[in-house]
Amino acid sequence: MIIGQQSTYRILISGGGTGGHIYPAIAIANAWKEKHPESEVLFVGALGKMEMQKVPEAGYQIVGLPVAGLQRKLTFANLSFPIKLMKSLSQASDIVKDFKPNVVVGVGGYASGPVLYAAQGKKIPTLVQEQNSYAGLTNKILAKRAKKICVAYPDMNQFFPEERIAYTGNPVRKDILHLDGKREKAIEHFGLDPERKTVLVLGGSLGARTLNQGMLRDMKEFDRDGYQVLWQSGKFYFKDMLEATEKASLKHIHLREFIKEMDLAYAAADIIISRAGALSVSELSLVGKPVIFIPSPNVAEDHQTKNAMAYVVHDAAVLLKDKEAVGHLKEKTDEILSNPELIESLGKNIKKLAKPLAAEAIVNEIEHLIA
């Protein structure tokens, strides 16, 4: 698509806080630069959050705002919230004024609010990318003045004006799109046994208490009954989990704080046990393998359960409630992996819901806003 006579475009992308916001943002930037290599892309994040490290690692410049969230509980940190917000609004206005973006993209997270608010005040077109099946408050407010809202789930007109919605899916890392032929490399990379079925356990980069407790309880049974577990414990829990697994001395329990090579982890897996964050759900739909979702109960509006149920209703995944997970991981795994027909149908059905070209679809929407 030809979007004008300019040779370069300036794209401002704001948001972050978690991998679920950051990785889609980077995927959008990569897809845009692939199509428009002469463009300038600038990110705006929140100081102290993981985007301040991850975005530069991906090769992009990022500016940090002092913005922070309002805690649900009454805490001393809430007293500084208005000051940080006002300072962030002022800085965001300056960034937009100086950078002069053609379009501003908000992916959610603390920094999205001030930046999109500033851009909308200056009549610069804005695009909101909502990853979840249940829209957050900030995105619902920003979407009122946004030119386009890109969503990952159908039926999002309950939150946003239907005429401005584009059903694009969530952008994911490109290496996940090509898993064929990687199993042998994955087995070697992680030191796995090619004869054993592999259970991949993912609680996110920070970790998930319930998944870790469940694995601690069942790991001896997994090892004894011919499985091997590739287990991402997360940053907060790694030390305790390492002590427990070393004490148990189980040969086929492979603990990692964080798995960087997710394409290889997915290629090795026969079944995946995971939280139901928006990015995880979107990635797993592309993988096309049986999934047990254990939604986190500690998120706004219980949106992880809603994310998971959007797949469960299509017989594309199995749901295990957080409060029931400890003591049932091995049982559910056995139930699925002992049933070849269920393995096939879960893999086939979840892949039907995949949106492999989400980043490219969002780029098309950005182009229409600039045209």
CB contact at 8 A, 227 and 196: yes
Is 132 annotated in a binding site? The answer is: yes
CB contact at 8 A, 337 and 281: no
Is 205 annotated in a binding site? The answer is: yes
Helix H segments across 202-294? 209-224, 238-248, 262-268, 278-287
Is 173 annotated in a binding site? The answer is: yes
> Cα separation of 354 and 285, whole Å?
5
How many CB atoms lie under 10 A from the CB of residue 30?
A: 19
Is 283 annotated in a binding site? The answer is: yes
Is 349 annotated in a binding site? The answer is: no
Is 3 annotated in a binding site? The answer is: no
Helix (H), strand (E) at residue 18: none
Is 46 annotated in a binding site? The answer is: no
Instruction: Measure Cα distances from 335 to 56, 143, 326 in Å.
Output: 43, 43, 16
Is 256 annotated in a binding site? The answer is: no
Is 18 annotated in a binding site? The answer is: yes
**Largest alpha-carbon pair distance within the chain?**
65
Is 307 annotated in a binding site? The answer is: no
Is 30 annotated in a binding site? The answer is: no
Coil vs helix vs strand at 326: coil
CB contact at 8 A, 23 and 172: yes
Q: What is the 3-state secondary structure (H, E, C) of 55-103?
A: HHHCCCEEEEECCCCCCCCCCHHHHHHHHHHHHHHHHHHHHHHHHCCCE
Helix (H), strand (E) at residue 115: helix 112-121
Radius of gyration of the CA atoms of the chain, in A = 21
Is 278 annotated in a binding site? The answer is: yes
- Look at residues 257, 269, 294 and name the one whose alpha carbon lies nearest to residue 347: 269
Is 19 annotated in a binding site? The answer is: yes
Is 304 annotated in a binding site? The answer is: yes
Annotated binding-site ranges for UDP-N-acetyl-alpha-D-glucosamine: 18-20, 132, 173, 205, 259, 278-283, 304
Annotated binding-site ranges: 18-20, 132, 173, 205, 259, 278-283, 304
